[in-house]
Amino acid sequence: MKILKFLLLLPLLLIFVSMPVSAAIRLSTEKFEFNVKPNDNFLTGSFTVQNDGNATVRFRAYPEYFEISENGTILTEIKNKNVNSVSENIRFNPAEFTLNSNDSQKIRFTITNVRNLPDGESRAALFLEDIKTKQQALPTGSNKASANLVIKTRIAIPIYVDKGRVIKVGAIQQVNLEKVKNRYQYDLRVKSSGNSLIRVSGIGQIVKDNNLISEFPINERPVQAGTVGIIKDFIPTQKLIPGQDYTLKVSLSYKGQDNKEVLLRQEMPFNLGDITKKG
C-alpha cells in the first residue's frame, strides 16, 4: 500500500501525491450498497458529478479494490488479489468525460457475473481521477537539483455487494481512556467477525451515582469483516471534578444480516486522576 511515490530522474525529483477531492466537485452519492438476489447476474447503478469550480476538468473512471483501515479510511493499492473484489467486473459509461464549469455528468455502471461472487461482502472503489496533473515547485536547498510536487485529484465512491449467506457480527473488544496533553480521549475497539462489514454508531455517557453528567455522540464508523476498528475522540470534562469517581458507559448499535438493530454495551469506572498520559 502506497500513499507517496518517489521518482528520482537525474537532477529532477518528482513527488506524486493523491489528493482528496476538491470542494468544487460534488457527487450525488457517497456510497453504493447492493444485495444480490438469487436470480441476479448483474447489477446497475448511476451517480452524477457536478463541477462547481471555474476550471475545466477531464476525468477518467475506473474501479479498484480497497480495504478499510482500522480508523475507517479507504486503503487502496493492495498487493494481494482478493476474492472479495468486484473491480474486474465493473464497466463504466462514459469511462472518460470532460466537465466544464457548472456542468454535470451522469455516470452509469454495470457489475457483471455477480452470481459467482463468494458469500458475504465483495467491494470496490469507483474512482474518478483528474487526467491532467498539477505541478508545484518545492525548495530543495540545492542549485543542482529541483523538486516538483505532482498532484493528482481522485474521488472515491465505495461500493459494497452482499450475496448469499451474509453474517454480520460485532462486539466491543475494549474501552480505555487516555490523557492527551490536557484532554481526555476514549479509545474504543470494535471487532467485526462475520463476512460482511458492520457500521457502528451510538452514544457515550458519563454517569455518577446513577446520575447522568454528560452525554456525547459516537459517529458512524464502518468496520471491515475480520478486523478490529478503532474509534477515538475526546470526552467532555467540563462538569467533571478531579478526584471523584465516574463511570463511562458506551452504547453502540449496528444493523445485522436480518436488517434488525443489534445493541452493544460496555462500561468502565474511571477517575481523571488515575488516567495515564499517552506516550
**So what's the pLDDT on residue 188?**
97
Q: What is the pLDDT of residue 276?
A: 77
Q: Which domains does the chain have, with CATH numbers?
A: 11-163 (2.60.40.10), 170-274 (2.60.40.2360)
CB atoms inside a 10 Å sphere around CB 49: 21
* Per-residue pLDDT, 82: 73
The per-residue pLDDT for 153 is 76
Grid coordinates 505532482 are at which residue?
A: 150
Report the pLDDT value the prediction gives residue 147, as an integer from 0 to 100. 62
The model's pLDDT over 136-167, given as tens digits with 9 standing for 90+, comes to 665 656 565 556 666 677 888 999 999 999 99
What cell was used for 26?
A: 460534488
For the chain, give the secondary structure using H, E and C. CCCEEEEEECCEEEEEEEECCCCCEEECCCCEEEECCCCCCEEEEEEEEEECCCCCEEEEEEEECCEECCCCCEECCCCCCCCCECHHHEEEECCEEEECCCCEEEEEEEEECHHHCCCEEEEEEEEEEECCCEEEEECCCCCCCEEEEEEEEEEEEEEEEEECCCCCCEEEEEEEEEEECCEEEEEEEEEECCCCCEEEEEEEEEEECCEEEEEEEEEEEEECCCEEEEEEEECCCCCCCCCCEEEEEEEEEEECCCCCEEEEEEEEEEEHHHCCECC
Q: Is the pTM of this model over 0.85?
A: no
| CA atoms of 87 and 68, how far apart (whole Å) | 16
Exposed, middle or buried, 261 (CB in 10 Å: 0-12/13-18/19+)? exposed
Q: Which three cell numbers stand for residue 279?
A: 506516550
Q: pLDDT tens, 73-104?
A: 988 877 766 777 899 999 999 999 999 999 99
User: Phi-psi region for residue 163, left (φ > 0), alpha (ψ -120 to 50) or beta?
Assistant: beta
Per-residue confidence in pLDDT tens, the chain, 279 aa: 333 333 223 333 333 344 444 448 889 999 999 999 999 999 999 999 999 888 888 999 999 999 999 999 988 877 766 777 899 999 999 999 999 999 999 999 999 999 999 999 999 999 999 887 666 665 656 565 556 666 677 888 999 999 999 999 999 999 999 999 889 999 999 999 999 999 999 999 999 999 999 999 999 999 999 999 999 999 999 999 989 999 999 999 999 999 999 999 999 999 998 887 775
Cβ 216 vs Cβ 236: under 8 Å: yes
**What is the structure's pLDDT at 148?**
62
Residue 105 to residues 58, 60, 209: CA-CA distances in angstroms?
11, 12, 58
